[in-house]
């Protein structure tokens, strides 16, 4: 007979960095009690992982912490673009891109935008948000062992401050414990991909004179290409705090101990082109870039998220964003199964949906590093050869051809050639501006705690009535909205989706349907299914779709 555990929670999260904290935040928003344990004493103090892409910011917007993140990111709010130059003295070099959203075209697709917020500034915002929602976050607490059975997971956790141990019984465990994930290792899950790509030593330093050398070039990152001292320079406050990534070659026998303060100072001065620059090294940390994806994202009741599931080159900031989006995908599915409105089979779609995204995205990240000639990266043949081009389709346009979707094209690419957010099942639902009770909201603001059915206030009455009846009789979190009554679309251009009649209302054309049709959207904002017109039995049709979607059939 199993001994009674010291603590009982629906979900135990292992790892308290960006992905673990995001998992806590998203579960908290969905009302799922949980505990998070992190072996380190607190949040990150090193300014890294600063690029939060538009899809991540959409998730944080809906979760209510976008204002806090923007406040934490205010010092770098005016930094844009990536500069590549042999020296910062003078005006040599070229911009690989000067603005991440030239012309403001992103506003057609999203209510928010990219945000430059370093991990050490972002994590405290996540902690505050997660704890305000009841998250039990325990730093200096380390997972020692765990065992799982058909009903749950029993973990032994050690309080590193007191050396006391206690047991936690959870229905599910989420491992966000980094690229060397002890949980993944214990599960015996392998990884595939090219492996290690390159290594750098990240140096934090103070320099009061560097701001004068940089001038008005407000870059996100500057690749310095001096043949004897290449590296990447990143501003922390645009004044006197900076980060420099210096190439490290452990494959040649080079050790970290060789990166002395004197060597780093000389390297930074030579790279920047200013021999008398004041450089006060305040810290250093090594890191390795790799391209690997776990062969599976779960075993039993244990799930991998973030770096424990995938590693990718830092160019483009794909890694942390992919991990945060893993957490969001998994959170609503855990909430649905724990809440009893979805079958356990729904959790299998976490791997089905997210692993192909990581595989495609990690290949794109390596290709981006080749494009930008990232310091220290000398790609082996066949590495970094993925399709090049823009990144918006990678960060916002990715889709789920298989998984918790009904009617998706199974042959469509996970990352499409261009941006096409027109309501296809498996894609992120289109963004349109609406009015609800006088407030201006995005369609994306509707999607978080429930399934949502959109239909027309006139021609779509049958769909609305069917959804209301199902929600009431099945105690299912399904919220139907009538466009034109519950919600009013603001005037503006709406792209025509495939199958949408040209005389259909704007919202319907944007979603690839007609005034007689309906669109079912998941809590994570992805289109689950759509009907392009009326049907004789909308309730029966919708019940069949929901049973297939939620694995309750």
Q: Specify if 144 maps to a domain.
A: yes
Give the model's pLDDT for residue 46. Answer: 72
Residues 160, 231: one domain? no
- Same domain? For 41 and 138 the reply is yes
Domain membership flag for residue 416: no
CATH at residue 478:
3.40.30.120
In a domain, 409, yes or no: no
169 and 207 together in one domain: no
- Asked if residue 212 lies in contact with residue 277, where contact means CB atoms within 8 angstroms, the answer is no
Q: What angle do CA 131, 133, 135 make, to 5 degrees?
A: 50
Would residue 404 count as lying in a domain? no
CA angle 350, 319, 228 (to 5 degrees): 160
Residues 382 and 439 both lie in one domain: no
Spatial separation of the C-alpha atoms in residues 456 and 505, rounded to whole Å: 8
| Residue of 129, 133, 177, 135 lying closest to 155 (CA atoms) | 177
Return d(Cα 442, Cα 433) in angstroms, integer: 5
Sign for the pseudo-dihedral over CA of 235, 237, 240, 243: negative
pLDDT per residue over 386-405, tens digit each? 555 578 899 999 999 999 99
Q: Assess if residue 271 is contained within a domain.
A: yes
User: 337 and 468 in one domain?
Assistant: no
Q: What is the chain's alpha carbon radius of gyration, rounded to the nearest angstrom?
A: 24
User: Which pLDDT tens digit goes with each residue over 503-515?
Assistant: 668 999 999 999 9
Same domain, 382 and 437: no
The answer to whether residue 388 is domain-embedded is yes
> Among residues 366, 395, 424, which one ends one of the domains?
395
According to the model, what pLDDT value does residue 225 have? 92
**Final residue of a structural domain among 378, 395, 412:** 395
| 29 shares its domain with 164 | yes
**How confident is the prediction for the chain on average, in pLDDT?**
92
> In angstroms, what CA-CA distances link 217 with 91, 94, 234?
10, 11, 12
Residues 318 and 267 placed together within one structural domain of the fold = no
CATH number at residue 184: 3.50.50.60
In a domain, 326, yes or no: yes
Number of domains in the chain: 3
Residue 169 has pLDDT above 50, yes or no: yes
Reference 244, options 215, 207, 213; nearest CA is 207
| Mean pLDDT across 158-180 | 97
Pick the closest to residue 307 from 175, 197, 400, 117 (CA basis). Answer: 175
**Boundary of a domain, candidates 343, 365, 395:** 395
d(CA 410, CA 413): 9
**Pairwise CA distance, residues 115 & 75, whole Å:** 11
Q: Is residue 238 part of a domain?
A: yes
**CATH number of the structural domain spanning residue 224:** 3.30.9.10
Q: Do 221 and 266 reside in the same domain of the chain?
A: yes
Contact 81, 95 (CB under 8 A): yes
pLDDT confidence of 384, banded at 50, 70, 90? low
pLDDT (0 to 100) of residue 367:
84
User: What pLDDT, on a 0 to 100 scale, did the predictor assign at position 2?
Assistant: 58
The pTM is what? 0.94
Residues 162, 76 within the same domain: yes
Based on the domain organization, do 213 and 304 belong to the same domain?
Answer: no
Q: What is the mean pLDDT of residues 166-174?
A: 98
User: Token pair of 15, please?
Assistant: 């790892």
Q: What is the pLDDT of residues 121-155, one digit of tens each?
A: 999 999 999 999 999 999 999 999 999 999 999 99
Domain that holds residue 502: 433-550
Q: Are residues 363 and 444 in the same domain?
A: no
pLDDT at 1 over 50: no
């Amino acid at each position: 007979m199993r001994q009674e555990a010291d603590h009982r929670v629906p979900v135990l999260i292992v790892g308290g960095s960006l992905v673990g904290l995001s998992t806590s935040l998203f579960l908290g928003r969905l009302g799922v009690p949980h505990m998070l344990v992190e072996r380190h004493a607190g949040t990150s103090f090193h300014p890294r992982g600063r690029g939060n892409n538009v899809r991540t910011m959409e998730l944080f917007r809906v979760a209510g912490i976008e204002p806090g993140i923007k406040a934490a990111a205010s010092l770098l709010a005016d930094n844009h673009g990536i500069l590549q130059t042999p020296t910062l003295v003078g005006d040599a070099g070229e911009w690989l891109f000067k603005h991440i959203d030239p012309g403001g075209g992103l506003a057609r697709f999203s209510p928010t935008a990219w945000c430059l917020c370093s991990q050490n500034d972002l994590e405290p915002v996540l902690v505050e948000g997660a704890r305000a929602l009841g998250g039990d976050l325990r730093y200096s607490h380390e997972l020692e062992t765990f065992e799982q059975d058909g009903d749950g997971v029993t973990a032994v956790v050690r309080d590193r401050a007191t050396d006391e141990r206690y047991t936690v019984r959870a229905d599910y465990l989420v491992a966000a414990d980094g690229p060397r994930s002890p949980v993944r290792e214990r599960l015996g899950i392998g990884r595939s991909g090219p492996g290690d790509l390159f290594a750098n030593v990240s140096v934090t330093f103070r320099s009061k004179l560097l701001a004068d050398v940089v001038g008005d070039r407000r870059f996100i990152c500057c690749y310095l290409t001096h043949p004897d001292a290449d590296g990447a320079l990143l501003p922390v406050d645009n004044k006197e705090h900076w980060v420099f990534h210096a190439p490290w070659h452990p494959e040649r026998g080079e050790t970290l101990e060789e990166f002395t303060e004197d060597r780093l100072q000389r390297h930074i001065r030579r790279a920047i082109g200013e021999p008398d620059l004041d450089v006060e090294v305040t810290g250093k940390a090594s890191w390795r870039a790799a391209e690997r994806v776990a062969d599976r994202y779960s075993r039993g009741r244990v799930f991998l998220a973030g770096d424990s599931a995938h590693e990718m080159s830092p160019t483009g900031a794909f890694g942390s964003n992919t991990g945060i989006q893993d957490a969001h995908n998994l959170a609503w599915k855990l909430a649905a199964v724990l809440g009893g409105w979805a079958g356990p089979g729904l959790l299998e779609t976490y791997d089905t949906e997210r692993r192909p995204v990581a595989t495609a995205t990690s290949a794109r990240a390596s290709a981006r590093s080749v494009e930008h000639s990232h310091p220290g990266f000398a790609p082996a043949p066949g590495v970094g050869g993925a399709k090049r081009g823009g990144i918006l389709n990678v960060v916002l346009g990715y889709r789920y051809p298989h998984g918790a979707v009904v009617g998706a094209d199974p042959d469509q690419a996970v990352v499409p050639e261009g941006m096409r957010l027109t309501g296809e099942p498996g894609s992120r639902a289109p963004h349109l501006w609406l009015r609800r009770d006088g407030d201006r909201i995005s369609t994306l603001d509707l999607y978080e705690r429930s399934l949502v059915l959109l239909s027309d206030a006139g021609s779509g009455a049958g769909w609305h009535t069917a959804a209301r009846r199902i929600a009431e009789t099945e105690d299912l979190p399904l919220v139907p909205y009538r466009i034109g009554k519950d919600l009013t679309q603001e005037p503006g251009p709406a792209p025509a989706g495939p199958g949408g009649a040209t005389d259909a209302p704007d919202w319907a054309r944007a979603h690839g349907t007609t005034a007689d049709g309906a669109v079912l959207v998941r809590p994570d904002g992805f289109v689950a299914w759509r009907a392009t017109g009326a049907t004789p039995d909308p309730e029966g049709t919708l019940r069949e779709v929901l049973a297939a979607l939620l694995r309750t059939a």
